[in-house]
Every structure is written in structure tokens, then in C-alpha cells.
Amino acid sequence: MVTQSKDGYIVRGDKKIHETFVVPSTKYIGVMYGLELEFFTVDKKTCAPRVMDISCLNPDYVKAELAGEQIEVTTTPHESLRDIKEELLNRVREVVREAGKQDIALLPVPLLEQGLTIRDSPRYNLLVQELGKPFAAHAPRVASDQVNI
């Protein structure tokens, strides 16, 4: 739920980690589009899931995902989907270069038969705590590749 106040837009959070988010009126720029691509990270030779060290990449655009062996690459918001192409290509190329240094390949399909881990973070730990063992056992496998707009 979003409401407007004199200070901006108030977005109700999940009440577990965030009560609310406030987007100041001066920061709101209208409807924009950004892409988020998710990849599983696997050993180049065996295709076995591997955790990729992304600490040297820009954390604003390359982020850890639910599965320890999964990352997302994002773009900044754009007014048109057509404007995103160059930025997305540059970001993915940067990630591919770094993955190559680690003998890792990016796999844009789900790893349904592999044993994956859930990344250790407050957000994901809360999900495991609230949703239990079935979530922990199955969520990383079904957190497949996706393109979010």
C-alpha cells in the first residue's frame, strides 16, 4: 500500500524487517524501467554449483541472491526499455570477466537437481525461520533464472 504525504510517498513494508519506506517527493521521478537478471554460478568445467566472490564488483548492480550460488545483475532505471541495452551489456560483460577469473560460468537456467545453499543474510535467515524446513529445502532450487522489469 502506498500513500502520499507532504514529505513524499510512504510504502508499507513487510513489518518483519521494514515497517515503512519513505520516498521523498524530490526523489520520485515517475515510472521508470530497470532490469534484473538472475544467474546461477557454476564451476566452468563440471557445472557444479559454486559460490562466486562478487566483492570486487559494484554492489549497486551485482547482488547476492537467495541461493548462495546465485547472483543478480541490475540496471539503473530508464524511461524506456530500449535505453537499457548498452548498460545491461556492459554490466553483464563485467560480471562474465570476473566469473572467468574464478573459473565460474553464469548459468541462466534453474539447477533443479543440484544441492544449493541459502545465503547467510538477515533477510534470508528470517525467511527460513518463518517458513521452515520445506522452504529451506526447496526454495534455492526453484529460485530459477528470471528477468524482472
List pLDDT tens digits, range 22-34: 777 777 777 678 8
Q: pTM of this prediction?
A: 0.67
The residue among 85, 90, 37 whose CA lies nearest residue 65 is 37
Residue 119 predicted with pLDDT over 70:
yes
Average pLDDT, the chain: 81
DSSP per-residue string spanning 4-62: E-SSEEEEE--SSS-SEEEEETTT---S-B--EEEEEEEETTT--B-----TTS-TTTE
Place of cell 541459502: 118
The string of pLDDT tens digits covering residues 60-96 is 999 988 888 889 999 998 888 788 888 999 999 999 9
Higher pLDDT, 116 or 74: 74
Place of cell 535505453: 83
Q: What is the pLDDT of residue 140?
A: 63
| DSSP label of 110 | -
- Stretch 93-108: mean pLDDT, rounded? 95
Q: What is the pLDDT of residue 144?
A: 55
